[in-house]
Each structure stands twice: as C-alpha cells, then as structure tokens.
A = this chain, B = another copy of it.
Amino acid sequence: MVVKRSLTPAAVVDVALGIVDEHGPDGLTLAAVAHACGVATPSLYKHVASLGELKTLVGARVLEDMTDRIATTVLGTSGDEAVTGLMRAYRAYGATHPKRYAALPMDPLHDPIQEAAGAKLVGVMYATLRGYGLEGSAAVHATRRLRVLVHGFASIESEGGFGLPEDLDDTYDQLIQMYLATLRSES
C-alpha cells in the first residue's frame, strides 16, 4: 500500500500549526508551509485542497488538541472541582498558545471538518455540568454561560488585552466563583 515515504495531510497540518504558533493565523501561508516542509508551494496541493482548507484543518486540530487537554484535566473529578478544573485548563491552553488560540473556530458546527471536534468540546462541558441536576434548556444556558466566560477571558488574555497590573489569577478566580454561584442557585 501507500508507504508514507514523505508528506501526509496530517504532517502538513503539523507544520502549519507550528507556523500559526509562531506567526499567528494570518501568517499562515502556503509558501511558508512549503518552505518549512522543504517542497515547492504547488506540491502542497497534493495533500491539501487549498489554503482555506488548510486553515480549516488547523482550526479543527487546535480544537481537538485543546479539548483533549481539557478532558484529561477534568477526568475523574466532578462538581465544583470539575468546573474549576475545566475553566483553568481552558485558560491555560489559551495562555500557553496565544497565537494558536486565535485560530480556533468559534462556529465549528458549521463546518463538517470541524464539527466532530466542536461537538466533543461542548460535550465535555456538558458532561462537566452533569451532577448539577440541570434539565433541558437550563443545561444549554449553563453551557453557554460557561463558554462565554472561558472564551471571553482567553480571547482577551491571549491578545494581550488586559493592560493593568492587577493579578489576572484573581480576576479569573472571581469569574470561576461567579459561575459556580449561578450553578448553585440553579440546581
């Protein structure tokens, strides 16, 4: 069969991810990827349909990666501990890979390539809220609130949007407590 004698689509995405980490999503260019792979630019089209598709694939990869990291952190915990762990893990991912965070698709369910990864992250959040006895739409709203909090903070932090010297850990702790309080009053 096909021997992976060289490049594969996954390998191309690996390289692209490195470029995103270094230069941000807008710095992701087929020319740069090709150069990093040691091939001519048009050769990439043997593995990837277009720059747009590559960006979509990178977005999916980041989503999967982050979801795995978060899921692992939350594993084996429940209740407030799990929620706290999830929120901290989410923030940690954004803070550790700021450029990459900007490549995250906010609407993964609109693209078949990213759909699975998006559903999985939402699933992890949803599962983390299990135990608070949320029914139907209450669970949906609670999940949305959680998403808003973690994404809002990670988005601003990863773009260097917090200017003042006050400790960001304190702000984040307050956000966690704020969220946990709504869960308590709901369940």
Contact status of A156 and B106, CB under 8 A, knowing A140-B164, A171-B145: yes
CA distance A179 to B155 in the complex (A): 19
Say yes or no for A135: interface residue by CB 8 A criterion.
no
Write the nearest CB–CB distance from A45 to chain B, whole angstroms.
21
The one of B145, B151, B155, B174 that contacts A145, using a Cβ cutoff of 8 Å: B174
Interface membership of chain A positions 79-112, coded 1 if the CB is closer than 8 angstroms to chain B and 0 otherwise: 0000000000000000000000000001101100
User: In the complex, which residues of chain B have a beta carbon less than 8 angstroms from the beta carbon of A153?
Assistant: 148, 152
Write the nearest CB–CB distance from A118 to chain B, whole angstroms.
9
User: In the complex, which residues of chain B have a beta carbon less than 8 angstroms from the beta carbon of A170?
Assistant: 137, 141
Say yes or no for A144: interface residue by CB 8 A criterion.
yes
Q: Are B162 and A155 in contact (CB under 8 A)?
A: no
Most buried by B among A152, A160, A177: A152
User: In the complex, which residues of chain B have a beta carbon less than 8 angstroms from the beta carbon of A120?
Assistant: none
Say yes or no for A31: interface residue by CB 8 A criterion.
no
The one of B110, B149, B159, B181 that contacts A106, using a Cβ cutoff of 8 Å: B159
Q: Are A145 and B106 in contact (CB under 8 A)?
A: no
CA distance A23 to B164 in the complex (A): 34
The one of B150, B171, B181 that contacts A144, using a Cβ cutoff of 8 Å: B171
Nearest 6 A-B pairs (CB), nearest first? Answer: A152-B152, A148-B152, A106-B159, A106-B161, A140-B166, A109-B163
Q: Which residues of A contact B (CB under 8 A)?
A: 106-107, 109-110, 137, 140-141, 144-145, 147-153, 155-156, 159-164, 166, 170-171, 174-175, 177-179, 181-182
- Sample of 21 A–B contacts (CB below 8 Å): A106-B155, A107-B159, A109-B163, A137-B170, A141-B170, A144-B162, A145-B171, A145-B175, A147-B152, A147-B156, A148-B149, A148-B152, A149-B149, A150-B152, A151-B152, A155-B155, A177-B182, A178-B178, A178-B181, A178-B182, A181-B182
